[in-house]
Amino acid sequence: MKAIVCTKYGPPEVLQMTDIDTSVPGDNEVSIKIYATSVTVDDSRIRGFRVPNSFWLPARLALGLRRPNKPVLGSIFAGEVDEVGKCVSKFKRWDKVFGSSSHNFGAYAEYICISHDRGIGYIPSKR
């Protein structure tokens, strides 16, 4: 699948579109085909590694020394359920959903796998 990957800390030019492996949902996860995402202040701060000096070392340890540990940034998404894990009953294929992967990131890609009971909701239908 295609994804925007943060190859190192720096300006927007460090972001590159590349192919990565498509993840398979676990038993309690859903795979979502992402149709829309957003750029948040968290994405910008992590990409540019803009943190207060007093948090520099803890942030490097938590986020990654030379580049982000989680290279596919993005936490807000909207899309459609593509596949469900065997223990998921709340969602089914083709459900329109939106949500947040929080600090797990991964929304700058074509698909994201996320736990079915965390941060996902149905997009209301027009009626």
Between CA 60 and CA 68 the distance in angstroms is 9
Flag whether the pTM goes above 0.85: yes
Side-chain half-sphere exposure of 31, counting CA atoms within 13 A: 15
Q: Which amino acid is at 107?
A: A
Between CA 85 and CA 123 the distance in angstroms is 20
- Structural domains present in the chain: 2-122 (3.90.180.10)
Helix (H, G, I), strand (E, B) or coil at 29: strand
Percent of the chain with pLDDT over 90: 87
What mean pLDDT comes out for the span 35-59?
A: 92
